[in-house]
C-alpha cells in the first residue's frame, strides 16, 4: 500500500510542477514588452517618442514641439515588420483638430529614422502611396534617451 501511495504523490508532484512551469512560460510571453524613450531634433522642432515594443506590435506616445509656436501630441500604434515600424499617429493638432496620419520608422543601430511620403486614404485609413515612402536626411532621427530626460 505504501508503494502505491508514493507513486501517487510523485505523480501529483510532477503534475503540480508541470502546471507551474506552463503558467510561468505563458506569463513570460504575455509580459514580454519593452518600453523605450527617444528624442529627435530638426531646426527649432523637437520630437519625443515613447514606445512599448511587443513581439509584432508597438504603441506609445509621440509629441512634436515646433519651437515656441505650439505642438502636436498624441498616440502612435502599429506593427513591427522586420526593421520597420508601420502604423498611424492619431493626434490633436496645434489648431485643435483631431487628425490621423501614417507613421513609419526604420530601425537602425537602436536609432529610428522617420519616413515620409505622399499620403492617401482608403476607408478612413491613411497610408503612404506605394513607391513614395522615403527616409530622408532631413527627417527626424530618433535617438534613445533615459526616461528622466523624456519631454525635457
Parse the chain into domains and list their residue ranges: 1-32, 34-149
Percent of the chain whose predicted confidence (pLDDT) is above 70: 76
Average of per-residue pLDDT across 46-73: 92
Handedness of CA 105, 95, 120, 55 (dihedral sign): positive
Which grid coordinates belong to 113? 529614422
Place of cell 486614404: 121
Residue 74 has pLDDT above 90, yes or no: yes
Residue 40 has pLDDT above 80, yes or no: yes
Per-residue pLDDT, 97: 82
Amino acid at each position: 500500500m505504501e508503494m502505491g501511495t508514493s507513486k501517487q504523490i510523485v505523480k501529483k508532484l510532477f503534475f503540480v510542477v508541470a502546471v507551474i512551469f506552463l503558467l510561468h512560460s505563458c506569463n513570460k510571453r504575455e509580459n514580454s514588452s519593452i518600453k523605450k524613450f527617444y528624442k529627435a531634433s530638426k531646426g527649432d522642432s523637437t520630437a519625443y517618442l515613447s514606445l512599448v515594443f511587443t513581439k509584432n506590435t508597438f504603441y506609445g506616445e509621440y509629441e512634436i514641439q515646433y519651437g515656441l509656436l505650439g505642438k502636436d501630441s498624441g498616440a502612435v500604434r502599429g506593427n513591427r515588420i522586420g526593421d520597420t515600424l508601420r502604423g498611424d499617429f492619431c493626434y490633436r493638432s496645434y489648431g485643435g483638430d483631431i487628425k490621423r496620419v501614417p507613421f513609419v520608422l526604420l530601425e537602425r543601430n537602436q536609432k529610428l529614422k522617420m519616413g515620409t511620403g505622399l499620403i492617401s486614404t482608403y476607408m478612413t485609413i491613411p497610408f503612404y502611396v506605394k513607391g513614395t515612402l522615403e527616409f530622408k536626411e532631413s527627417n527626424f532621427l530618433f535617438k534613445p534617451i533615459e526616461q528622466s530626460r523624456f519631454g525635457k
